[in-house]
Amino acid sequence: MTRPVIAVGSTRKPKLAAVNEALGQIASLFSANAQFEIIGIEVESGVTHTPSNRAELMQGARQRAEAVQSLAMQRSQSWTYFVGLEGGLDSVEENGQRRVFLESWAYVSDGHRGHFGSSGAIELPESLAEEVLGRGTELSVAIDQFAQQTGIRDAQGAWGVLSANQITRQEAFRIAVIAAFAPFYNAELYNKEAAGRSAAAG
């Protein structure tokens, strides 16, 4: 029996590992013996190298998934789900002070409908936030300089540096993926909610 294919708009190891781990956790919620094949395809997000607000993060995740879906159509591939993952910053003003948060977002589509999920947020030190937002340095470059390490993006990520490795980049994306898949593996609940609204409108 052919396994359903989850096509992810990235070839980066933390992102693919996050999707693999998330699907391993939720597969049985689709069916008792569900197994998925996960493939990674490098696509453009269509947003800046470090998104600076939530709307841009969501746009980047969606556009990655949609780019993979377009490739599936071009290649006549019947992939089951399309996943876009985007990490970046969200800046808010709180009590007169700028606070900048690192967030990880996922968008999952079955080709007909799509849903978002996120991981929560962790606050950046002001000096790191200023380096990225004020000076325009890419977060992956800035976090390497900040932590005096190299290749952090493909290892623990900025999440790992900021949380002293209590939450890694992979873990943040894992949570986002599980959240974005919820309307698919918990379809009865989501469809029931929609039906309830329709009945009320009638």
Environment class of residue 199 by beta-carbon count within 10 Å: exposed (0-12), middle (13-18) or buried (19+)?
exposed
**What are the two backbone dihedrals, phi and then psi, of residue 45, each rounded to the nearest 5 degrees?**
-80, -25
pLDDT in tens, 130-150: 999 999 999 999 999 999 999
DSSP at 154: G
Q: Which two tokens stand for residue 183?
A: 């309307």
Hey, where are the domains in the chain?
Answer: 5-122+167-197
> Which of 95-109, 146-160, 184-198 shows the lowest per-residue confidence on average (mean pLDDT)?
184-198
pTM: 0.91
Q: Which two tokens stand for residue 180?
A: 């974005």
pLDDT in tens, 98-121: 999 999 999 999 999 999 999 999
Q: Which two tokens stand for residue 186?
A: 């918990």
DSSP at 140: H
> What is the CATH topology of the domain spanning 5-122+167-197?
Maf protein (3.90.950)
